[in-house]
Every structure is written in structure tokens, then in C-alpha cells.
Amino acid sequence: MRSLTTTCAALIFGAGTLATAATNTADIPGHPSELSFEELVFTPPMPADYRQELSNGTPVFMASSKEFPLVTITLSFKGGQYMEADGQAGLAAMTGAMIRSGGASLMSPTDLDEEFDFMAANVSVGVGGRSSNATVNCLTSNLDDAFGLFMDMLLQPRFDSDRLEVLRGQQLEQIKTRDDDGLQIALREMNFLLWGEEHFEARQPTKASLESITVEAMQAFHARIFNPSNLMVSVTGDFDQTEMLAFLEDAFQGWESGEASPAVPAPTHQFTPGVYYYEKDQPQVQVLIGHRGVQRDDPNAVQVEIMNQILGGSGFTSRITNSVRTREGLAYTAGSVMRSRTEYPGMFMSYFFTKVATAALATRLVFDEFETIQTQAASTEEIETIQNNLIETFPRTFESKGAMMGMFISDERTSRPDGHWSTYRDRVRGVSADQIQQAANDYLHPEDMVILVVGPWDEIKKGNAESEADEARVATMAEFFGGHATEIPQRDPETLESKN
């Protein structure tokens, strides 16, 4: 008599399946360590294979697929927040939001929303720091109608005054509470310290700047960015390439070129290293430690990336996380980031959030890790862990057709060197312990860092002397920059001006 398990398996899978399974058990290794897999061979796609041009020179990147009867078209434009004039902070973001929510020449905002909903078309518009995007996703069957309405909205936005006042009111309410969150304060003040308050990397909207935004200002800002001189296009989904090119040629007929957006300005602010604090009565302290970083196309960018991954960028395998969180238990979150910029050096920043009494000790531990990575070679295990992770996850960069087309657009717009992706894994594999240590010495400068602390300073600066019996673990903020600290004046959340 067959067992109940066997009977159930036969009912579910069929008796033939059981026989096949029994036959194949001899092929099953005795231990997981004996499993073997074929080597994954992945060749990164080449942008040229997806690139076409319209008759006016507009690049179009296309990747078709037949999985779903959907098409996604994204119009990407050079230009963004860096083009805001003094006193206009918030204009870029509000312009992007109002292009989408403020109606079109042919329809009111409500009618436009209802029409897009009726066609099951998802439409979005956003203005970022350096670039802007407008995207429509719709059924292939109603592409003509959806894209026509999309282009009317994009080229002739209504900027409805009632919708503008609703959006303005929401923004004004949001800035009233921006000092409630210590991390938001820390990020804002760190950007002010490193970039300067007027550079777009740090610039923040105020009550006055939001109230000054008019329909005319948005129309002028829209015209500067959303024109063919700044345009690149990506298309993914269910379409024929030849037909799509003809479709876009027809859709863009009569669209005036306009002027190209200017270059992204580099910051001119010179930051002063040292300890800074922003007074806030809270039980948890936010600590950010950093300075300017590396440019994207720096010849040592890969070495710097791996160095930072070992130092604090790889989560639980990184040194800062292990030191501050795992071994000492001083913080739930601790690590570092190395954010590059294309036009100028980006920012390196270490971070942790801890109790008032342990802020000084955690800061010491982070600086100890800076010294260690500069003076001692990384272990083979550390290096191989990061290298293998970067190499094995590399194909995921290209797993989404939409993200891949967007990356090709960004690479072309920013003149990324040819062959970057095809040689990336080889460059990762070739990084040595000596190169990592050299990168740490060339790109980390502890003596030139800003230490920013948000919390009750009088308690923070005393450290853990009163609660720590082990003298070796006693730390105070007097250990850093000769014990000198600069207070950042309390800011009015609406004006960002000093309350003092």
C-alpha cells in the first residue's frame, strides 16, 4: 500500500513525475558544498545598439518587448534646479508639479486627470537638480490619443491658478515643520556647510521664495528647459521601431527649438573644517562627518568606491558598521557614503545616530577607522567580498529596460567615457590592497572634515565619562579640533534666518 505522502504527491504531480524524481535522485549531490553551476556570462549592452536619431538630431533610445501591450515614452531634458535664480528656491519643483497637475491648453486640471484615468495612462513630470523628465505610460492601442494629450500638457501647460495655490499652501505647511526632525536638520546644515547656502546642491525654499512664485515665473522656467534643444527620448514596451520613429517625427513637428540649458555651475563656497553643532533637545543625536569627495570620472573612482565600501558603504560587512554598531552597540545605523558628481567633486560623508552620552565615543571610533584604512592594508577577504558583490550584482544594472535607456541617456548627456560599462568588472577585479590604501590617503582627509552634531550640546560634549567605568572607552568632544566647536544659530523654519 502506498503511503499517504506518496498518494498525495501522485495526485498533485502525476505518477510519472514521481518516477522521474526517483530516477534523478542519484544526480543530487550529497552536500550543498558539492553543487556546481555553469558560469554566468553577461555582456553589457552597448548604447549604440539602441540609439536612433530624429531628423532634428534628437537622440532616441528604444528597447521593444512584447510581454505587455504597453508603451512607455520618457522625454528627458537637460536643466533643473541649478537654473533657479536667487530668491526662487522651490520654483523648479513647483513647475514640474504644476505641468502635470495644472491642466493643459485644451483641458482644465480636473478634465485632464479624468481623461488620463479613462485611458489608463500614467503620466508624471519632475524637475530635478540637473535634469527634468516627463513620462507617459499607456496601452499601445491608445498611444495616439494619450500621447497627443500628453504633448499638449507638456508644451502648453495651463498652470491653473487654483491648483497653484493649493500646491503653494502644501509647501508652506511642510516647511513649518522641517525643524521637527533632527536628521532633516543635519542633512540641511551639512549641505549648507559643504556647498554653501546659495548653491543649488544646498538651496532650500523659504516662505518668501514660495510666495514669490507666479504663473509667469513658471511659464518662463518651463520654456527654458522643456524644448528640443535639451531633449533626449527613451521608448520601451510594445512597439515597432520604424513606426515609432515616424510617430515621434510627426508628434514633434512644429516644436520650436528654444535655447539650450547652461552648464551646471560648480560650487564656489570654501568650507571650514571643524566641529559644528545645532542645538536640539532630543534623546538621539545625529552625527555627520564629511568633506568634499570625488568626481564621477576620476581615474581612481573604482578604487575609491571599493575603499568606501570596505570603510562604511557595504552595510554589515563594513568596518564602521562593525565597529560602531556590532562590536560597541552604540548605534543602529552607522556607515559612510561617497557620492560623486560629474561636473565637480561630490561629497564623502560618514554618519551614525546614537545616544547623547555616546556621541563622542562613536565619533572617535569612526576616526579610528579613517586612520586604520589609511595605515593598514585591507585584507584579502574584505577586498574579495566587495569585488564579488560589485561584479555579481552588475547585471542588475541592466535588468530594467526603462532604467537602462535612462542610463544611456544620462551617459550621453554627461559624456561618460566610452567603454565604461564593458570594462567596469575588469577594473573592479584589478583593484589591489595597495591601491585601496592609496585611495584612502588621497581621498580621505580627516583633518579637513566637518563634524556636525544635532542634539543637546552641553550634554553631548561631556561624553560618557559619568557612565563609563572603562577609562579606555571614555571620550569627550574635546578630542576633536582642539576642543573648539561652532554653534550653528537656530533657524526660523519658514525663513531659515537666524532666530538670534
Quick one: angle between helices 433-443 and 380-392, nearest 10?
90
Whether residues 52 and 135 fall in one domain: yes
Q: How many CA atoms lie within 13 A of 368 on its CB side?
A: 15
Whether residues 371 and 285 fall in one domain: yes
Cα separation, 494 vs 173, in Å, equals 9
Whether residues 311 and 246 fall in one domain: no
Which domain range does residue 136 map to? 48-251
Name every residue whose Cβ is closer than 8 Å to that of residue 176 and which is 6 or more positions away in sequence. 493, 494
Cα separation, 351 vs 321, in Å, equals 10
Whether residues 226 and 280 fall in one domain: no
Is 45 in contact with 398 (CB distance < 8 Å)?
yes
Whether residues 379 and 234 fall in one domain: no
Written as one letter, the residue type at 95 is T
> Is the whole model's pTM more than 0.95, yes or no?
no
Whether residues 229 and 282 fall in one domain: no
| Helix, strand, or coil (residue 248) | helix
Whether residues 348 and 457 fall in one domain: yes
| Last-in-domain residue among 200, 220, 251 | 251
Identify whether 302 is part of a domain: yes
What the block records as the C-alpha cell of 429 is 577585479
Identify whether 333 is part of a domain: yes
Q: What total number of domains does the chain contain? A: 2
Whether residues 142 and 227 fall in one domain: yes
Identify whether 493 is part of a domain: no
Whether residues 180 and 76 fall in one domain: yes
Identify whether 332 is part of a domain: yes
What the block records as the C-alpha cell of 347 is 561629497
Whether residues 110 and 194 fall in one domain: yes
Whether residues 138 and 195 fall in one domain: yes
CA 291 from centre of chain:
19
Q: What is the pLDDT along the chain (500 residues), one digit of tens a residue?
A: 445 444 444 444 454 544 444 445 667 888 887 888 787 789 999 999 999 999 999 999 999 999 999 999 999 999 999 999 999 999 999 999 999 999 999 899 999 999 999 999 999 999 999 999 999 999 999 999 999 999 999 999 999 999 999 999 999 999 999 999 999 999 999 999 999 999 999 999 999 999 999 999 999 999 999 999 999 999 999 999 999 999 999 999 999 999 999 999 999 999 999 999 999 999 999 999 999 999 999 999 999 999 999 999 999 999 999 999 999 999 999 999 999 999 999 999 999 999 999 999 999 999 999 999 999 999 999 999 999 999 999 999 999 999 999 999 999 999 999 899 999 999 999 999 999 999 999 999 999 999 999 999 999 999 998 888 788 899 999 999 999 999 999 999 999 999 87
Task: Look up the CATH number of the domain holding residue 100.
Answer: 3.30.830.10
Cite the beta strand spans of 164-217 per DSSP E: none
Identify whether 166 is part of a domain: yes
What the block records as the C-alpha cell of 266 is 560648480
Whether residues 175 and 288 fall in one domain: no
